Amino acid sequence: MAEVTITPIDNGPYLVRGPVKIIDTDGQVFEVKKETVALCRCGGSTTKPFCDGTHSKIGFAAANRAVKGG
């Protein structure tokens, strides 16, 4: 099976690379036909769960580093 990676972009989306299936809380499956998809993390995209660039218009600021914990 191919590797999947998730990389946060500074103040932008999560870039997901590799074969994935995206399913929302209602069970709706989103077709992922590209090798890399950008997932919204600002909450403002009109194409959720995918990024539409809204983060740059609303000044989204994100924490990009994972918090190490137990």
Question: What is residue 44's DSSP assignment?
Answer: -
Q: Residue 39: what pLDDT?
A: 96
Over residues 5-31, mean pLDDT: 93
- pLDDT beyond 90 at 4: yes
Q: Note every long-range contact of 44-49, with CB atoms under 8 Å and residues 24 or more positions apart, other chains counting.
A: 49/22, 49/24
Q: Residue 56: what pLDDT?
A: 94
Over residues 9-38, mean pLDDT: 93
User: Model confidence over 35-53: pLDDT tens digits?
Assistant: 999 999 999 999 999 999 9
Q: Model pTM? A: 0.83
Q: Residue 2: what pLDDT?
A: 81
